[in-house]
Structure 1
Amino acid sequence: MLFERVYEEGLAQASYFIGCQREGKAIVVDARRDIQTYVDLAAKNNMDIIAVTETHIHADYLSGTRELAAATGAEIFLSGEGGPDWQYGFAGTTLMHDSTIKLGNITITAKHTPGHTPEHLSFLISDGAVSRDPGFMLSGDFVFVGDVGRPDLLDEAAGGIDTRFAGAKQLFQSLKEQFLTLPDHIQVYPGHGAGSPCGKSLGAIPSTTVGYEKATAWWAPYLQNNDEEGFVAELLAGQPDAHAYFARMKKQNKQGPAVLGALSPVEELSAEQVVDKLGLKAAVFVDTREQNEVHRATVVGALNIPRGAKASNFAAWVIDPEKDNTDLIVLAPNAAAAEEFRAALMRTGIDSVRYFTTSIDGLPTFAPALISPAELTSTSYDALVDIRGKSEFAAGTIPGAQQLSGGSAMWRLDELPTSGTLVTFCQSGARNTVVANALRRAGFEVIELEGSYAAWESFSRQSPKLAVTGR
């Protein structure tokens, strides 16, 4: 058996390529939308991808199931569990509890493990060349390393009302019936790692075992004592902020993401061509540099989405393609970097990267307004906005600040003053620059706190009588 984990750091998301070497057949589970990695793995190992499936209707990224099936001719397998409200809106072979998929020696058995979502499946994998018994579990968002999937996202991101309590109880039963009954040796490969908002304390290592989770996970004593009430209370407490774009992901993944097919190359533009498109409002400029470079100078009206691991996530914070699908011009050192950036944005359903340019020379620029912690104490402003998560905010913030999580800020603009000056900050500044530039583009006057909360903390320790004033 060939077993490959494909990991996307920014979304902390894992997909899996599993193949039977004897017959040259493979399946991909929880594929992301830029599918070339899986196509390359199949070619490298002389395999055909004949099946694609997913553990559940995802909220944090756009599924590549349909894209990969269209490119390879693979059969789609989808959960039929969860009731009529949780059926997919596109065609596929239905998987129910104990349904199987065969790939030569390999048997993949679906197990209904509701809680995170009602239709959720986990997959037990048996390598018949070694044993008839399962040796691996793809747990999706059911069991993570050291944690379990949060059941409140349907309330936070899909418009549910108090579904979290029923979901938490379902999760308790799923653990009791579908996890604790498994042999300790089974290796568990979850759908997410540390940094994912799909749980509150996910481990950073790629896998675990059933036995290790039984012995060490926070939830294990509640199961051992059959304490469902205590489990529910602990599970629901302190979950991280849900990003606003999750609602769009849920809807698109249920209906079926658009199939893009072969993509045209990202076109390079000269400075003059960029100026023309921006002047005609035919495109939006995306500055992909890190915060210090952006603070020196960026393009007027530009968004800031730094290239790198967080690009797919940050892009979905500040771009809603359902409301604005204007072409994007990205700043990139070369065509390869522009293509990589486009692939990252596709993972959260932003398909409008059409152009790139290699420099901001010759473009209309400005230097974003900054304020130091010392200046903040004697400056008037209309709102002080902490764009960190609610748990960070609860642990300590600048007096007078309001919390407006970066992942939902652009969907909560009605909570900000309609005129006047905003001072914004995060922990170190990277998130803040992303949100601040989006707010400027939306028409707000924004000053960024230089060094953000970390700098303010350092300054306040040296100034015990520090007072922060605001209007």
Structure 2
Amino acid sequence: MFFEHVYDKSLSQASYVIGCQAQGVAMVIDPKRDVDTYLTIAKQNNLHITHITETHIHADFLSGSRELASLTGAQLYLSDEGGKDWQYQFPHEGLHHGDKIQVGNLTFEILHTGGHTPESISFLLTDNPASTQPVMIFTGDFVFVGDIGRPDLLEKAAGIAGTQEQGARQMYASIKQFAALPDFVQVWPGHGAGSACGKSLGAVPSSTVGYEKIRNWAFQYPKDEEGFVDNLLEGQPEPPTYFAMMKHLNKVDRPLLIEVPKPKKLSKSDLQTAYHDGVTIIDTRHKTTFAKAHLPGSLNIQGNNSFSTWMGWVMNYESPFILVASEEHMEDLTRKLMRIGLDNILGYISSIDDLNITLESADIITLQEFESYIGKENVQIVDVRSENEYRANHIEGADHVFVGTLPENLHKIDQKKQIVIYCQSGDRATIAQSILAKNGFENVKNFSGGMKAWLAKNENL
């Protein structure tokens, strides 16, 4: 048996290539949209991709299943569970609980494991030449290492009222089914630590059924469904705004993107025209570089592993945008954007110098200066971290406005006062400061040391 775990750190998302080497065929589970990765793996291992499947209609990334199928001729096998409202709206081979997919000498049994979403399924793998017992289960967003999938996304992100409690009760039934599997079965989930699809995902890429029954909190409620439901729904992180768009695009027939785009490097005049026309500028440089000098109105979303998530939070999918990024980083950034369907890149520039545009700087303050603002009536201190982080601890007197929802909550920021913002260690505060500046807030200071610096000093007192 051939097996490869493909992991996208930017979205903490896992996909899998599982093949029968004897017959030279393979199946891909939950492919990301830049599918050249799987074509390379198959070619290097003398495999032909014949089967493509998904564990559910994804909300956190744009699936590459149809792109991969168009390039390989492979058959799409997708869930037909969950009822008519949860069906894929393009041609596929429908899967139901108990169905089996044969990939050479490998057998994948379909388990309907609803809860995260009504149509969610898992794939129980038996490597027939080696054993008559199942050896692996691919759980998608059902069971993670140390956690389980959240059932509230349909309600919070897609606006489908009344689905989160129903999903939680479906999840309770599904984990009982999971717990009946042999303890030795390996668990390969769809996400790892850092994903917004759960609240306490582990960093280890895989586990076993037996280990999860011991350490995963969800299996500690054998006869307490109400306690399980309450615990599952409590404390889930804010779902990024782009999740609703992903849920839609992954369900419907849409245009395909079968290769990684190569955005245009813009000339000085191209940039000036677009800039004066109001096209959004995304500056992907490091926060300290951005703070020293940047184009007025540009947003600082650093090109790190969180780039695609924050772009999904703040960008309008209908609006074009320009990146400030080095040429050598453009392929990586483009891949991160295409994985969430942000294809409307007008182009990029490598330098902001010599554009005949007066640059601005951001006002970054030290811990000592930050302390001088605490308690003053003419100062509003704003914590832009998540609600869970704010509840856990925050600086006394600070208001809470999460950076991801800041554009919709600008009315909560008092322009008549000196604004001082902070997050955990500066990245999110930099995004927030650039959003405020773009929206006309001039009197904003950024305590970039954030709670990390604040706690470090106070722990030493």
TM-score normalised per structure 1: 0.90
Of 296, 306, 312, the residue aligned with 2:308 is: 312
Q: Distance in 1 between matches of 2:291 and 2:161?
A: 42
- Over the aligned positions, Cα root-mean-square deviation in angstroms equals 2.2
Of 360, 366, 369, the residue aligned with 1:366 is: 360
Deviations along 1:437-464, one digit per CA (max 9) or x if unpaired, are 13322344443223223334456679x9
Query: What is the Cα deviation at residue 3 of structure 1?
Result: 1.0
Q: Distance in 2 between matches of 1:378 and 1:216?
A: 44
Give yes or no for the alignment of 1:351 onto 2:348. no
Query: What is the Cα deviation at residue 9 of structure 1?
Result: 1.1
SS at match of 1:69: helix
Q: How does 1:436-447 map to 2 (within 5 A)?
A: 436-445=433-442, 446-447=444-445
SS at match of 1:88: coil
- 1:295 matched to which residue of 2? 291
- 2:39 matched to which residue of 1? 39
Report the CA distance shift for 1:250/1:411 in structure 2 as closer, same or farther (over 3 A): farther
SS at match of 2:251: helix
Report the CA distance shift for 1:211/1:264 in structure 2 as closer, same or farther (over 3 A): closer
Query: What is the Cα deviation at residue 379 of structure 1?
Result: 6.2
Q: How does 1:242-253 map to 2 (within 5 A)?
A: 242-253=239-250
Q: How does 1:156-305 map to 2 (within 5 A)?
A: 156-177=156-177, 179-223=178-222, 226-281=223-278, 283-305=279-301
Query: What is the Cα deviation at residue 402 of structure 1?
Result: 2.6
TM-score normalised per structure 2: 0.92
Q: Distance in 2 between matches of 1:357 and 1:62?
A: 26
Contact 1:271 1:361 in 2 (8 A): no
Long gaps (5+) in structure 1 = 465-471
What code does the residue aligned with 1:369 have? D
What code does the residue aligned with 1:25 have? V
Contact 2:261 2:334 in 1 (8 A): no
Query: What is the Cα deviation at residue 354 of structure 1?
Result: 3.8
Higher mean C-alpha deviation, range 185-194 or range 441-450: 441-450
Q: Distance in 2 between matches of 1:411 and 1:27?
A: 43
Q: Distance in 2 between matches of 1:208 and 1:381?
A: 53
Contact 1:271 1:360 in 2 (8 A): no
Query: What is the Cα deviation at residue 202 of structure 1?
Result: 1.0
Alignment size in residue pairs: 455
- 2:108 matched to which residue of 1? 108
Q: Distance in 2 between matches of 1:239 and 1:181?
A: 27
- 2:4 matched to which residue of 1? 4
Query: What is the Cα deviation at residue 262 of structure 1?
Result: 3.6
- 1:395 matched to which residue of 2? 392
Contact 1:146 1:202 in 2 (8 A): yes
- 1:423 matched to which residue of 2? 420
* Identical pairs, percent: 43
Query: What is the Cα deviation at residue 280 of structure 1?
Result: 3.4
Contact 2:150 2:233 in 1 (8 A): yes
Of 449, 453, 456, the residue aligned with 1:455 is: 453
SS at match of 1:370: coil
SS at match of 1:212: helix
Report the CA distance shift for 1:13/1:338 in structure 2 as closer, same or farther (over 3 A): same
Q: Distance in 1 between matches of 2:268 and 2:455?
A: 41
Contact 1:373 1:455 in 2 (8 A): no
Give yes or no for the alignment of 1:88 onto 2:85. no
Q: Distance in 2 between matches of 1:149 and 1:411?
A: 28
